[in-house]
Amino acid sequence: MITDKGSSLTFSLAQQLGRQIVAGQYPPGATLPNEAQISSELSVGRTAVREAVKMLSAKGLVETRPRRGTQILPYRDWNYFDRDVLSWLREEDPDPATIIELLQLRLGVEPLAAELAATYATDEEVVAIGNGLERMRIAGEGRTDPVAADAMFHEAIIAATHNRFFQPFGALVRTALSITAPTTNMIFGHSVGDLEAHKGVFDSIAARDPAEAHRRMRAMLQEVCDKVAAWHGGKRVGGKREAGRH
């Protein structure tokens, strides 16, 4: 039974169904139980079910068609920039494929973000990136959350691109860090990203050297990708295969 704890019944129902979809209980191509079934099973009114499905449809998760019911859409239609979808992703135990896909995304986006930041960042934005680096140093001493510190650094770089279409990637990178952290911590043996590598990225941005900022960010992320690939049996990551694996 759905209960209302400070938020609307419709929102609570959308949250429950959304979590089930993202968790794979209803995979792409599957059909949700019909309105009457959901209403009966969860003791909610049909209007709440209808409105919850509309919310999920707006996030690209489902589509309702006459005589076909409500079907789960392919992953390509999901809005991965949606705050709720990101939140539901963070709640799941990621499989290796998800970790690798998130690293591939970062490898495709963040080197260019660093290059743009080196070109366009204001003095204040360079300071914000430096503050993220300092927060990572403090996290290395166990005095603050390492994932939040790492995200602060990378989000500050994305903000400094001065490209409005890059901005949604900030939340996606934060989600990627929170999802991949347990695995990368296990592989690298520590909970904080390579501080020297991050400092190299920061120094290049502060020096207004776009090419070097791009190179250093790519090298830093590629190292993570390669080690995760080795851990996962040499799966291709970033268009490269771990040496010695076929």
Fold: same for 9-77 and 93-231: no
- Decide yes or no: CATH 1.10.10.10 for domain 93-231: no
pLDDT digits (tens, 9 = 90+) for 197-237: 999 999 999 999 999 999 999 999 999 988 888 887 755 44
Beta-bridged to residue 240, according to DSSP, are 237
Domain ranges of the chain: 9-77, 93-231
CA distance 179 to 90: 6
The CATH number given to 9-77 is 1.10.10.10
CA distance 188 to 42: 44
The pLDDT of residue 47 is above 70: yes
Q: How many helices (H) and strands (E) does the chain have?
A: 10, 2
- The model's pTM: 0.81
State mean pLDDT over 99-119. 95
Confidence at 62, pLDDT banded by 50, 70, 90: very high
Report the C-alpha dihedral over residues 222, 104, 163, 59, rounded to 10 degrees.
-160
